[in-house]
Amino acid sequence: MKENKGVCFTETPEQKVQMDAVLEQYGGDESNLLVVLQEAQKIYGYLPIEVQKKVADGMGVSMEKVYGVVTFYSFLRTDPVGKYNFSVCMGTVCYVKGAGLINEKLKEVLGIDDGQCTPDGLFAIAPTRCIGCCGLAPVMFVNDDVYGNITHNDVEDIVEIYRKRAKNL
């Protein structure tokens, strides 16, 4: 996994208070590491190196131990989620029908890798496993919006929809 160089981590005072409370409650016992990381993700939304360092120091374990756990569980993220999350289904049917190409095109258009978020915090790419609507294959989700029967040629237009939406916010 690459370190995200795009988004700078900042911590609000509330987040700090919440996190300190979590470490106060669970710190010192290594077996709580997963719980603490889940709580930390709830507080910060993701687990960048700064948060992992905090957890390591607070729990008295090494940085590598924390990183090993974070990369082991797919529900723990080292990159922030974007305002708009692009998930291309990578199930077999979608894949056969060109989901791979669509995802590649997404990466190219947004200039980021799987699991990453654009520096402005707007867009993220997170391919997903089969979600069962194979009749629409290939399928892409943008948050709760569904786009079915698309090809990689549609990607730029779809991204444009959300660029506009973001501007009008």
Partner 1 sequence: MQNKVNIKINGKDYQVDAGITLLEACKQAGIKIPTLCYLKDVNELGACRVCVVEVKGARNLVASCVYPVSDNLEVWTNTERVIKSRKTTLELILSNHNQECTSCVRSGSCELQKLAYEYGCDGHKYEGEKQQFLEDVTDYLVRDNSKCILCRRCISTCEKRQAVAVIGANERGFKTNIGCTFNKSLNDVPCVNCGQCIVSCPTGALRERDNIDDVLKQVFDKEKFVVVAPAPSVRVALGEEFGMPIGTNVEGKMIAALRKIGFDRVFDVNFAADLTIMEEGTEFINRLTNGGVLPMITSCSPGWINYIEQYYPEFLPNLSTCKSPQQMYGATVKRYYAKKFNIPLDKLVVVSVMPCVAKKTELKRPYQSAADGYQDVDYSITTRELARMIKRMGIDFLNLADEKPDSILGEGSTAGLIFGATGGVMEAALRTVKEVVEKKPLEKIDFECVRGTQGIKRAVVEVNGVDVKVCVASGIANAKVIMEELKSGKADYHFIEIMCCPGGCVNGGGQPIQPASVQNSVDIRALRASAMYSADERAVLRKSHENPEIIQLYKEFYQEPNSHLAHECLHTHYIARKK
Binding residue for partner 1 (CB under 8 A) from 8, 20, 68, 92? 68
By beta-carbon proximity to partner 1, the closer residue of 72 and 167 is: 72
Listed ranges 15-23, 37-45, 66-74, 154-162: which one lies at the site for partner 1 (CB under 8 A) = 66-74
Q: Are 129 and 141 in contact (CB under 8 A)?
A: no
Burial of 40 (0-12, 13-18, 19+ CB in 10 A): buried
By beta-carbon proximity to partner 1, the closer residue of 116 and 159 is: 116
Q: How far apart are CA 60 and CA 28, in angstroms?
A: 6
Q: Quick check: 40 binds partner 1 (CB under 8 A)?
A: no
Provide the minimum distance between the beta carbon of 117 and partner 1 in the complex, in angstroms, as a whole number. Answer: 16
Query: In angstroms, what CA-CA distances link 132 with 47, 93, 124?
Result: 30, 10, 22
Q: How far apart are CA 82 and CA 84, in angstroms?
A: 5
Q: Quick check: 75 binds partner 1 (CB under 8 A)?
A: no
Q: Quick check: 166 binds partner 1 (CB under 8 A)?
A: no
Which parts of this chain interact with partner 1 (CB under 8 A)?
1-3, 49, 52, 61-68, 71-74, 78
